[in-house]
Structure 1
Amino acid sequence: MSDDMQPDALIVLDIGKTNAKLALIDAGGRVLAEQRRPNAVLGGGLYPHHDTEGLWQWLLATCRGFAGLADVSAIVPVTHGATAALVDRDGLVLPVLDYEARLPGVDYTARPPFAETCSPSLPAGLNLGRQLAWLQQSFPNEFARTRHILMYPQYWAWRLCGAASGEATSLGCHTDLWNPRTQQYSSLVERMGWRKLMPPLAPAWASLGTLRAEVADATGLPRGCQVLSGIHDSNASLLRYLAQHDRSAPRTVLSTGTWMIAAAFGVALDGLREDADMLANTNALGQPVACMRFMGGREFAELAGAVVEPCTIDDIERLVRQGTLALPCFAATGGPFAGRSGCIEGPPPRDARERYALATLYCVLMTDHCLDALCATGPLAVEGSFTANPWFGPLLASLRPHQPVSYSDDASGTTCGGWMLRYRDGVPPGSSRAIGPRAVAGLTAYRQRWHQALDLTEPAASLPA
Structure 2
Amino acid sequence: MTGGHVAVIDIGKTNAKLALVRRSDLSEVAVVTRPNAVLPGRPYPHFDVEGHWQFLLDGLASFHADLGIEAITITTHGAAGALIAADGSLAAPILDYEHTGPDECARAYDAIRPPFSETGSPRLTKGLNLGAQLHWQFARDPLLKERVSHVVTYPQFWAHRLTGVFATDVTSLGCHTDLWNPYKGQFSSLPARLGIENKIAPPRKPSDVLGSVTAEVAKLTGLPADTAVYCGIHDSNASLLSHLVAQEPPFSVVSTGTWVIAMAVGARPVSLDPALDTLVNVNAFGDAVPSARFMGGREHDIALGGATAQATEADMLQVLSCGSMLLPAVVSETGPFAGAQSEWVGDEPQLGSGQRSAAVGFYLAMVTSYCLELIGHEGPVIVEGPFARNSAYLLMLGTVSHSPIIPTASATGTSQGAALLAALDNPLRHQMPAVPVPDKQMSEALLSYAAAWTRGLAKA
TM-score range, shorter chain: over 0.9
Cα distance, 1:95 vs. partner? 0.6
Do the aligned partners of residues 418 and 231 (structure 1) sit closer, same or farther apart at CA in structure 2, a change above 3 Å counting?
same
Aligned partners of 1:269 and 1:290 also within 8 Å: no
Cα distance, 1:319 vs. partner? 2.2
User: Is 1:99 aligned to residue 97 of structure 2?
Assistant: yes
Written as runs of structure 1 = structure 2, the 5 A alignment for 1:307-322 is 307-322=307-322
What CA deviation, in whole Å up to 9, does each residue of 1:173-223 have, x standing for no partner? 011111111111111122221211111222111111111111111111111
Secondary structure in structure 2 of the residue aligned to 1:10? strand
Aligned partners of 1:124 and 1:333 also within 8 Å: no
Q: Which residue of 2 aligns with 1:13?
A: 9
- Whole-Å Cα distance in 2 between the matches of residues 332 and 373 of structure 1? 18
Aligned partners of 1:330 and 1:342 also within 8 Å: yes
What CA deviation, in whole Å up to 9, does each residue of 1:300-335 have, x standing for no partner? 111111211112222222222222221111124420
Secondary structure in structure 1 of the residue aligned to 2:184? coil
Q: Which residue of 1 aligns with 2:53?
A: 56
- Whole-Å Cα distance in 2 between the matches of residues 84 and 261 of structure 1? 20
Aligned partners of 2:28 and 2:410 also within 8 Å: no
Cα distance, 1:375 vs. partner? 2.3
Do the aligned partners of residues 456 and 174 (structure 1) sit closer, same or farther apart at CA in structure 2, a change above 3 Å counting?
farther
Q: Which residue of 2 aligns with 1:218?
A: 220
User: Is 1:145 aligned to residue 142 of structure 2?
Assistant: no
- Whole-Å Cα distance in 2 between the matches of residues 254 and 99 of structure 1? 22
User: Is 1:74 aligned to residue 76 of structure 2?
Assistant: no
Q: Which residue of 1 aligns with 2:374?
A: 373
Q: Which residue of 1 aligns with 2:335?
A: 335
Q: Which residue of 2 aligns with 1:463?
A: none
Secondary structure in structure 2 of the residue aligned to 1:68? helix
- Whole-Å Cα distance in 2 between the matches of residues 293 and 121 of structure 1? 13
Written as runs of structure 1 = structure 2, the 5 A alignment for 1:235-250 is 235-246=237-248, 249-250=249-250
Written as runs of structure 1 = structure 2, the 5 A alignment for 1:429-448 is 431-438=431-438, 439-448=442-451
- Whole-Å Cα distance in 2 between the matches of residues 325 and 390 of structure 1? 17
Q: Which residue of 2 aligns with 1:300?
A: 300
- Whole-Å Cα distance in 1 between the matches of residues 153 and 450 of structure 2? 39
Amino acid at match of 2:191: V
Aligned partners of 2:207 and 2:230 also within 8 Å: yes
Cα distance, 1:429 vs. partner? 7.2
Written as runs of structure 1 = structure 2, the 5 A alignment for 1:162-241 is 162-241=164-243
More displaced stretch, 303-312 vs 285-294? 303-312
Do the aligned partners of residues 52 and 324 (structure 1) sit closer, same or farther apart at CA in structure 2, a change above 3 Å counting?
same
Amino acid at match of 1:198: I
Q: Indicate which of 43, 46, 55 corresponds to 2:40.
A: 43
- Whole-Å Cα distance in 1 between the matches of residues 290 and 284 of structure 2? 14
Cα distance, 1:456 vs. partner? 8.2
Written as runs of structure 1 = structure 2, the 5 A alignment for 1:258-277 is 258-267=258-267, 271-277=271-277
- Whole-Å Cα distance in 1 between the matches of residues 310 and 128 of structure 2? 32
TM-score (norm 1): 0.92
Q: Which residue of 2 aligns with 1:462?
A: none
What CA deviation, in whole Å up to 9, does each residue of 1:84-127 have, x standing for no partner? 01001231111100111102421212111111111111111111
Aligned partners of 1:408 and 1:430 also within 8 Å: no
- Whole-Å Cα distance in 1 between the matches of residues 323 and 281 of structure 2? 36
Give the length in aligned residue pairs.
449
Amino acid at match of 2:317: E
Q: Which residue of 2 aligns with 1:3?
A: none
Cα distance, 1:270 vs. partner? 5.4
Amino acid at match of 1:366: V
Cα distance, 1:269 vs. partner? 6.6
Cα distance, 1:58 vs. partner? 0.6
- Whole-Å Cα distance in 1 between the matches of residues 210 and 296 of structure 2? 35
Aligned partners of 1:410 and 1:431 also within 8 Å: no
What CA deviation, in whole Å up to 9, does each residue of 1:405-426 have, x standing for no partner? 1111223331111111001111
Amino acid at match of 2:67: A
Secondary structure in structure 2 of the residue aligned to 1:135? helix
Aligned partners of 1:13 and 1:23 also within 8 Å: yes
- Whole-Å Cα distance in 1 between the matches of residues 194 and 268 of structure 2? 30
Secondary structure in structure 2 of the residue aligned to 1:446? helix
Do the aligned partners of residues 449 and 31 (structure 1) sit closer, same or farther apart at CA in structure 2, a change above 3 Å counting?
closer
Give unmatched runs, 5+ long, in structure 1: 1-6, 458-465
Aligned partners of 2:166 and 2:201 also within 8 Å: yes
Give unmatched runs, 5+ long, in structure 2: none
Do the aligned partners of residues 98 and 430 (structure 1) sit closer, same or farther apart at CA in structure 2, a change above 3 Å counting?
farther
Q: Percent identity?
A: 40
- Whole-Å Cα distance in 1 between the matches of residues 349 and 260 of structure 2? 24
- Whole-Å Cα distance in 1 between the matches of residues 268 and 133 of structure 2? 29
- Whole-Å Cα distance in 1 between the matches of residues 160 and 190 of structure 2? 25
What CA deviation, in whole Å up to 9, does each residue of 1:414-441 have, x standing for no partner? 1111111001111327632111233254
What CA deviation, in whole Å up to 9, does each residue of 1:21-80 have, x standing for no partner? 111223313433221111111122211111101100111111121121233221111000
Q: Which residue of 2 aligns with 1:407?
A: 407
- Whole-Å Cα distance in 2 between the matches of residues 268 and 274 of structure 1? 18
Do the aligned partners of residues 300 and 211 (structure 1) sit closer, same or farther apart at CA in structure 2, a change above 3 Å counting?
same
Amino acid at match of 2:99: A
Q: Which residue of 2 aligns with 1:393?
A: 394
Cα distance, 1:144 vs. partner? 1.9
